[in-house]
């Protein structure tokens, strides 16, 4: 058993009378790829928002590497190395792809403001390092030909890649991907799966929310299934694929062959 | 190319006194320059963080009053029998204090209003300017109220080895304003090209995403407000020591509107925008004066504003930049990086 990276304990979220999540417990081990699946409205994105501090849970606690995340602001959670991507708004549309990544590198570029204004050598060399790093990231996600196009002008699938590169720019120790392959075609998805594996091989823990079942089944170490705000099953892809409750609620009969 | 244009512009401005002798025009240029500095500070907030400060003149006016009072001295009674007596200090100290105090006010206004932002920030800044105006109008013991602070001394600069130089003439003040404007431009340029500037842009474009990569909203916006207010305070100080008389009318809403118009027509979010917009609306009165009554001039400004924004909706500078930008060839889009190839193989 590897060390636990993320621990979600008895988390519940109520929006007025609506129970979006109730009593959710799960853990993600260091270096694991865990997927969160379930029908629309099951609470997957809510769970993401709680973990990354965009939403305060009504009850329960979340901790990352032993640090409690309750009450922390999103940027403080990002400072702990927990970085997320978004379903829809994944880029800064009016900046070039390259500039997007420079914004993403914010956590790396911390020279004092005075140094930056005076143009001191340390600030200059830090700028140079950031530019090199941004170029590397652009190449890594395979967008070097679009580097100087406005991010908003890219195709939907390409924008998702920029979103992931942006998250990677923040040097995560754990990456939370919210439906990263929606809007991608089969070959883009295939490349993306390789990318996710590469990221994990660099020692980054991954929590994934996704509807693309073949993708989830092929990439995940473990899967957590949510329905109506509750966890109905948890286990390896093989276990999940054959779990009657999951088939009933979400996968349907056809998925057993997937 | 860009820096060549910048240097040429500075040289052109520096050469103006060599051929322009008309004191009225020189005066117009100096006050325009001071307002351009104010517009540049406003642009830092409006153009780079998207926050509209409709009370920006408050920071300008606070700078003017702080600087004037520092160099004039005052003697005021406070509640509970306290008195503050201040003997005059050199105007240059007033200039520094103007920046500090205005920056501090920027911090308070920013801290209060960035929790809610958007329209609320606009309202808070308008109210702030109005409150400060009422204080300036009614705290007669300190500010002389509507009687105005008069006989404000000119700025004296100590030159090492050359003794003191008091900037009394228009020529001297012209170069002082030009120098401060250039420093301000460089400062803002460095700022928006630093990681801090990218954080501001990120917040403006997609706040949720910016926060998710670790950008601290409150800190970034408050810092922008402090710097912006500080620069406006510096402009106010220059104004006080040049005009040498200030009254509460300096806080008039129309002065903020003038700055906003300068920024919008020139192009918000572009460094040169406030300079171009400022030159147009600063010098327009000079050319309109012979043919129009002052009241009619306001109508003309409105007309010019509408025409410019109709033809060039993003503002003059960004629209022109977009028109003249050469399409980049794909080959030169990425600077070659020594170790990127190895990295690419590693992940292939």
Query: Over chain A, what is the mean pLDDT?
Result: 87
**Segment B222-233, tens digit of pLDDT:** 999 999 999 999
A interface test, pick of B185, B203, B209, B338 with most A CB neighbours within 10 Å: B209
Q: Which residues of A touch B223 (CB under 8 A)?
A: 113
Determine contact: A142 vs chain B, CB below 8 A: no
Average pLDDT (A143-169) is 89
CA distance A80 to A57: 19
Size of interface A-B (CB pairs under 8 A): 126
B311's CB contacts (< 8 A; 6+ apart) are none
Determine contact: A242 vs chain B, CB below 8 A: no
Determine contact: A103 vs chain B, CB below 8 A: yes
Q: Enter the tokens of residue B305.
A: 């504003």
Average pLDDT (B177-189) is 95
The highest-confidence range among A65-79, A242-256, B109-123, B228-242, by mean pLDDT, is B228-242
Q: Enter the tokens of residue B177.
A: 């304003």
Check pLDDT > 50 for residue B330: no
Chain B contacts in chain A segment 38-67 (CB below 8 A): 52, 54
**Segment A1-51, tens digit of pLDDT:** 578 899 999 999 998 888 888 888 889 999 999 999 988 878 888 898 999
Out of B198, B213, B340, closest to residue A170 by CB: B213
Strand A205-209 and strand A33-37: the pairing is parallel
Given this model, what pLDDT does residue B85 score?
A: 82
B259's CB contacts (< 8 A; 6+ apart) are B35, B38, B39, B42, B56, B57
pLDDT level of residue B68 (50, 70, 90 thresholds): very high
Check pLDDT > 80 for residue B345: no
Q: Which of B39, B102, B62 lies closest to B251, judged by CA?
A: B62
The percent of residues in chain B predicted with pLDDT above 90, rounded, is 44
Given this model, what pLDDT does residue B325 score?
A: 67
Q: What is the DSSP letter of A250?
A: I
Q: Which residues of B touch A75 (CB under 8 A)?
A: 211, 214-217
Contact yes or no for B110/B245 (Cβ under 8 A): no
Given this model, what pLDDT does residue B329 score?
A: 41
Q: What is the DSSP letter of A150?
A: B
How far is CA B63 from its chain centroid?
12
- Tell me, what's the ipTM? 0.85
Alpha-carbon dihedral angle through residues B105, B109, B112, B115, given to the nearest 10 degrees: -130
Using CA atoms, how far residue B282 sits from B56, B274, B287, in Å, is 17, 11, 10
Given this model, what pLDDT does residue A229 score?
A: 81
Contact call for B201 and A138, based on CB within 8 A = no
Given this model, what pLDDT does residue A248 score?
A: 83
Q: Is the dihedral of CA A52, A56, A62, A64 positive or negative?
A: positive
């Amino acid at each position: 058993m590897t060390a636990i990276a993320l621990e979600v304990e008895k988390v519940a979220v109520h929006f007025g009378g609506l129970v979006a999540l109730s009593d959710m417990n799960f853990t993600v081990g260091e270096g694991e790829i865990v997927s969160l699946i379930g029908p629309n409205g099951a609470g997957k994105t809510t769970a993401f928002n709680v973990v990354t501090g965009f939403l305060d849970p009504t009850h329960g606690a979340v901790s990352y590497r032993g640090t409690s995340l309750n009450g922390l602001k999103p940027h403080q959670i990002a400072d702990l190395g927990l970085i997320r991507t978004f379903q829809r708004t994944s880029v800064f549309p009016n900046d070039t792809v390259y500039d997007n990544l420079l914004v993403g590198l914010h956590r790396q570029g911390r020279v004092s403001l005075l140094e930056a204004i005076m143009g001191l050598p340390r600030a200059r060399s830090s700028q140079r390092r950031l530019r090199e790093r941004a170029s590397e990231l652009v190449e890594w996600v395979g967008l070097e030909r679009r580097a100087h196009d406005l991010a908003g002008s890219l195709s939907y699938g390409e924008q998702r890649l920029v979103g992931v590169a942006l998250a990677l720019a923040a040097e995560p120790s754990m990456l939370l991907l919210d439906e990263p392959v929606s809007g991608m075609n089969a070959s883009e998805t295939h490349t993306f799966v390789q990318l996710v594996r590469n990221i994990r091989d660099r020692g980054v823990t991954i929590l994934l929310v996704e509807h693309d079942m073949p993708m989830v089944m092929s990439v995940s170490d473990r899967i957590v299934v949510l329905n109506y705000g509750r966890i109905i099953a948890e286990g390896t892809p093989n276990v999940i694929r054959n779990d009657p409750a999951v088939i009933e609620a979400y996968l349907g009969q056809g998925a057993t062959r997937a | 190319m860009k820096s060549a244009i910048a240097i040429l512009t500075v040289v052109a401005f520096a050469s103006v006194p060599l051929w322009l002798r008309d004191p009225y025009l020189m005066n117009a240029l100096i006050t325009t320059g001071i307002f351009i500095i104010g517009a540049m500070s406003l642009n830092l907030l409006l153009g780079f963080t998207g926050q509209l400060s409709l009370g920006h003149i408050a920071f300008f006016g606070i700078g003017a009053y702080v600087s004037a009072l520092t160099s004039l001295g005052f003697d005021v009674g406070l509640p509970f029998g306290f008195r503050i007596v201040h003997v005059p200090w050199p105007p240059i100290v007033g200039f520094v204090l103007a920046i500090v105090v205005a920056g501090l006010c920027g911090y308070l206004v920013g801290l209060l209003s960035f929790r809610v932002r958007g329209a609320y920030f606009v309202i808070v800044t308008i109210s702030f300017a109005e409150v400060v105006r009422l204080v300036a109008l009614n705290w007669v013991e300190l500010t002389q109220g509507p009687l105005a602070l008069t006989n404000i001394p000119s700025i004296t600069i100590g030159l090492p080895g050359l003794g003191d130089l008091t900037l009394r003439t228009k020529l001297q003040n012209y170069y002082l304003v030009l120098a401060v404007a250039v420093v301000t431009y460089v400062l803002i340029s460095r700022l928006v090209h630093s990681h801090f500037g990218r954080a501001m842009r990120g917040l403006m474009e997609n706040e949720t995403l910016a926060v998710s990569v670790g950008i601290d909203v409150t800190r970034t916006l408050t810092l922008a407000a402090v710097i912006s207010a500080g620069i406006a305070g510096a402009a106010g100080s220059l104004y006080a020591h040049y005009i040498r008389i200030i009254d509460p009318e300096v806080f008039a809403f129309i002065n903020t509107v003038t700055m906003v118009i300068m920024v919008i027509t020139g192009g918000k979010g572009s460094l040169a925008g406030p300079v171009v917009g400022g030159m147009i609306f600063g010098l327009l009165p000079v050319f309109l004066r012979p043919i129009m009554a002052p009241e009619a001039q306001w109508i003309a400004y409105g007309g010019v504003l509408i025409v410019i924004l109709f033809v060039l909706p993003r503002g003059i500078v960004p629209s022109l930049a977009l028109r003249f930008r050469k399409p980049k060839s794909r080959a030169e889009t990425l600077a070659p990086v020594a170790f990127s190839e190895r990295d690419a193989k590693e992940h292939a």
